[in-house]
Structure 1
């Protein structure tokens, strides 16, 4: 069993920035860390699992959607400290993904799922966004737009 809180070493995870029809899919975290906040779907990789496989599995478990990872958007550290100690430490590979199937529904540790327009993360929305999440969504949005133009 992995020790998520106060780990002995960083844990490796993945995230899926799913850009579809001009929107990005977000999940509301159902548990810590960041419970109640809106973020991109994702989770920890399993032993023997490739990063791309983990992105597909985690997205299916949290959202019901089948995705295809397109490319790595960012590799980042998520370190949450509490009273001078590291409570959570994740190294996360966030991927730009496209929807290839499935039925949207909150599952696993997601309290809710919803599509958001770009204006919602670039304004004072009622949704609560972490600045790192906004940065990753914006980078994926820009790359998705660029890929769309190149494919024409």
Structure 2
């Protein structure tokens, strides 16, 4: 990650924490100014317009990492992937957790919506901090949960977010959407596939 982007994220988080807890209007003005500086730093280090960055970095309350769930679904030795309409590349089905749903409930919902399959969550394969993996720089901080699931119904079906659905072997993976999952993470999923005593990986 760019050192400048890392500084901007930290500055933005600190200013948001200050805005959450301060009761002094003068301090509020200072925190808002710090937040504006962080946003301008984001703009300098990305291809996004200032308004887009402001929308992406907007947080209510104390800033915490977002939670992203990814479904690990196998058909024999082939792994389920979906093709994202947004970038034309492939990923494990999933997305941000919604308020009111558990991680398990979220991944069931995401797989049904993005791939058409009904599933039952089996186990947590991994919990990763995106900062520890070679994802492209993003404006916010994410934790990623990889949840293995078993298909109990449904059929492959694309959606508003996905243009294709397929199962792939370890040696025949398509171009990946790296903001969502990396090659190393998918290889980990294949390693976990046949290990009944797999221990959840975390960092």
The alignment's TM-score, normalised by the length of structure 2, stands at: 0.58
Between Structure 1 and Structure 2, whose CA radius of gyration is higher? 2
The answer to whether structure 1 residue 17 and structure 2 residue 72 are counterparts is yes
Which among 148, 152, 158 is matched to residue 106 of structure 1? 158
- Deviation of 1:56 after TM superposition, in Å, equals 0.3
Q: What residue is the counterpart of 1:118 in the other structure?
A: 170
How many matched pairs?
134
Provide the rounded CA distance (Å) in 2 between the counterparts of 1:15 and 1:4: 24
User: Greater share of strand residues, 1 or 2?
Assistant: 1
Specify whether residues 145 and 104 from structure 1 end up closer, same or farther in structure 2 by C-alpha distance, changes over 3 A only.
Answer: same
Once the two structures are overlaid, the 10-residue window that deviates more, 40-49 or 67-76, is 67-76
- Deviation of 1:4 after TM superposition, in Å, equals 7.2
Q: What residue is the counterpart of 1:40 in the other structure?
A: 92
How large is the RMSD of aligned CA atoms in angstroms?
2.4
Provide the rounded CA distance (Å) in 2 between the counterparts of 1:146 and 1:76: 20
- Deviation of 1:41 after TM superposition, in Å, equals 0.2
Q: Is the contact made by 1:7 and 1:89 (CA closer than 8 Å) also made in structure 2?
A: no
Specify whether residues 16 and 120 from structure 1 end up closer, same or farther in structure 2 by C-alpha distance, changes over 3 A only.
Answer: same
- Structure 1 residue runs of 5 or longer lacking an equivalent are 122-126
Structure 1 segment 1-152 matched on structure 2, within 5 A: 5-8=56-59, 9=63, 10-31=65-86, 35-78=87-130, 80-81=136-137, 86-121=138-173, 127-129=174-176, 130=178, 132-147=181-196
Which is bigger in relative contact order (C-alpha 8 A, separation at least 6)? 1
